[in-house]
Amino acid sequence: MRYIQKFMIGLAALATLPLGAQGPAPRETAPEPVAAPARATAPSQAETANLDAADMEAWLDGFLPYALARGGIAGAVVVVVRGDEVVLQKGYGYADVAAREAVTPEGTLFRPGSVSKLFTWTAVMQMVEEGKLDLDTDVNRYLEFEIPPFEGKPITLRDIMTHTAGFEESIRYLITDDPEAVMSLGELMPLALPERVFAPGTTPAYSNYATALAGHIVERASGMNFDDYVDSRIFDPLDMTRSTFRQPLPKRLEPLMSEGYAVATGEPKPFEIVVPAPAGSLSATGADMGKFMMAHLNEGGPLLNPQTARMMHDFDAPGVGPLNSMALGFYESWVNGRRAIAHGGDTQWFHSYLWLFPEDDIGLYISMNSDGEEGASGAIRSALFHGFADRYLPGEENQARVDEETAREHAAMLAGNYVSSRGSFTNFMRLLGLLGSLEITVGPDGKIAFPALDGLTAGARDWVEIEPFVWQDTATGERLAAEVVDGRVVRVSLDPISPVMVLEPAPAAYNPAWLLPALMASLFLVLLAAVAWPVRALVRRRFGAKFALRERSLLAWRVSRSFAWLTLAAVAGWIWLIISFSSDLGSIGGPLDWLINLLRVLTPVATIGLLVASAWHLWLTWQQKRPWTMRVAAFLLVLAAAVLVWVTFGYNLYGFGMVY
The per-residue pLDDT for range 284-307, each reduced to its tens digit, is 999 999 999 999 999 999 999 999
User: Helix, strand, coil proportions of the chain in percent (round to 5)?
Assistant: 45, 15, 40
Q: Which run of H or of E encompasses 467?
A: strand 463-467
- The predicted structure's pLDDT at residue 658: 85
Query: Can you tell me the mean pLDDT for 444-450?
Result: 93
Portion of the chain with pLDDT greater than 70, in percent: 92
Average confidence score pLDDT of the chain? 90
Whether residue 61 has pLDDT greater than 70: yes
pLDDT at 49 over 80: no
Does the structure show a pLDDT above 70 at 29?
no
One-letter amino acid at 125 equals M
> Mean pLDDT over residues 591-603, rounded?
92
Which whole-number Å values give the CA distances from 185 to 93, 123, 638, in the listed order? 36, 15, 49
Q: What is the fold, at CATH topology level, of the domain defined by 12-392?
A: Beta-lactamase (3.40.710)
Residue 87, CA distances (Å) to 45, 81, 298, 367, 390 in order: 17, 5, 15, 17, 18
The ranges assigned to domains in the chain are: 12-392, 404-509, 516-650
Residue 585 confidence (pLDDT) = 72
CB of 175 within 8 A of CB of 346?
A: no
**Angle CA(178)–CA(346)–CA(159) in degrees, nearest 5?**
100
Quick one: pLDDT at residue 549? 82
CA separation for the pair 381, 67 (Å, rounded): 10
pLDDT digit string, tens, across residues 350-366? 999 999 999 999 999 99
Look at residues 125, 115, 49 and name the one whose alpha carbon lies nearest to residue 79. Answer: 115
A 10 A CB-CB count for 544 gives 6
Mean predicted confidence (pLDDT) in 409-430: 94
- Single out the residue of 348, 62, 112 nearest to residue 240, CA to CA: 112
Q: Is the pLDDT of residue 31 over 50?
A: no
Specify the amino acid at residue 76.
A
pLDDT for residue 101: 98
For 114, 216, 596, the CA distances from 190, given in Å and listed in that order, are 22, 11, 21
The per-residue pLDDT for 47 is 55
Residues 6+ apart with CB under 8 A from 475: 457, 459, 460, 461, 462
Q: Is the dihedral of CA 228, 230, 234, 238 positive or negative?
A: negative
Q: Buried b vs exposed e over 127-155: b needs ≥16 C-beta within 10 Å?
A: bbbeeebbbeebbeebbeeebeebeebbb
State the DSSP H helix or E strand holding residue 273, giving kind and residue range, or none if neither. Answer: strand 273-274
pLDDT greater than 80 at residue 183:
yes
pLDDT band at 77 (very low <50, low <70, confident <90, very high): very high
E strand or H helix at 165, and its extent?
none
Residue closest to 610 by CA, chosen among 575, 573, 647, 650: 647
Task: Place 30 in a pLDDT band, splitting at 50, 70 and 90.
Answer: very low
Cα–Cα dist 107/229, whole Å: 24
